Structure 1
Amino acid sequence: MIINYVCGFVCRVGFDVGMQIIIVIVVVFAGVFEVDVSNWSPFMPNGFKAVVTGSTVVFFAYVGFDAVANSAEEAKNPQRDLPIGILGSLLACVILYVAVCLVITGMLPYTLLGEDAPLAEAFSAKGLKFVTVLISIGAVAGLTTTLLVGLYVQSRLYLGLGRDGLLPSIFSKVHPTLHTPLHSQIWVGCVAAVLAGLFNVHALSHILSVGTLVLKLQNTICNCNTRFGCS
């Protein structure tokens, strides 16, 4: 019965995403029994300012929620599906993110967690080697999903900008058979390959996170100005 539910869930959300969610849930349940609540004291050892500074980095995650909105044209019932997709994914990510953070900081003091692979280090320190294998599989699946979603979203964004005349009209061209923005997809893939090949990925991730934060702020101001006539 459980296997049937798991298989049905994976089929509905997609193999990569379903596998990642299942792995995260397994990681949380495997680590919760190793949590020492004394590791959470003090809860914010570097103060609230450090929390705000760190939040600018994790804004990269909001690119995924933006992908739902950019897929509106390809939804069968966008008025119903988009709110469910955005709010549902946001709620799921908040729960999973918080659960993972609480588990790993409860398993080991935060000073012992490395920057490169804190999850793997926490479970290795507790002798749970099999969980580190799951984490590695989830990391590879996460990279694949992030790449595909990024290429998908950007090509649709350029498609809309091309239709509005904000970019050359070639970006608004759609493949006659596949009905996908072929030129936009090729352009996005080439730019992504060049950036990833020439620049430091760590620096690019920080630039992307801060850029996403600024973009969301601009969107909020524009929406406020459009709806309420204020700025």
Structure 2
Amino acid sequence: MSPTGGAPGPARRRGIRAALLLVPALLLAGCSAAPPLPTAPPGIDVESFDGSSGNGLWLVPPAELSARILDAVRAGGPVAMSGTVHEFVPSEEGELLPGRTITVDYAGRAGAFRAELGAGGVRTTLLVDEGRTAVRGNPAFADANARPELVEGVCTVGDDPAVAQWAPFTDPEALLGAVLTGAELSVAAPSGDGETLAVQIGASDSRAGVLIVERYGPPLPRSLSLAETDGDAELGFADWGAEVELGATAAELGCE
């Protein structure tokens, strides 16, 4: 279901605004060992690349940065993602007023994850595990969906429409794709011995956000900060590649 009750249309939206606005309106009711030195990124002259300085993301053409980062995300496996998104709503006078606060606590990958999500007064817990889906929400979420059974929890084989309402926060790759694809991106060459790189999102004179990624090895995201007229977001990413135990959440939701 879309905010207006018509066709969803998320596939037609791009960029930062998409990531902030895709949740439907009905919801309103540590350190590790350094990886091996990388080889030069594809298309980069090997002689101009010093692997000891990092993964070379700053040498990648701007038009290819989003694809390079999303490739790393796709290959990175499960991830823990948490944070908040604050929306701003224009008043009749044109003043921007605080809207929903969306909270995200997610672990896993698309097709196998657990998540606790909220928007305004709505709260829900989701479990998706290779063909099994469990959903439990608070009364506001159940009322918004006209499904009182959601308060006790629902276990199904296959998809549950309640999960789709929270896209793209149920798929880190889709979320990052909505932010990065089509956006103007840039990365400054590193200085010092820091472990991260800052990917600037937006034109140099109107930057809308920053994605912090790993400097060594694949450019996996660590944090995302966005600030636009539609809202702002602060999301963190951790534990890339760590398998997530979903059994405890299944038991909590009565879906063992």
Bucket of the pairwise TM-score, normalised by the shorter protein: 0.3 to 0.5
Higher strand share: 2
Greater helix fraction, Structure 1 or Structure 2: 1
Q: TM-score, normalised by structure 1?
A: 0.33
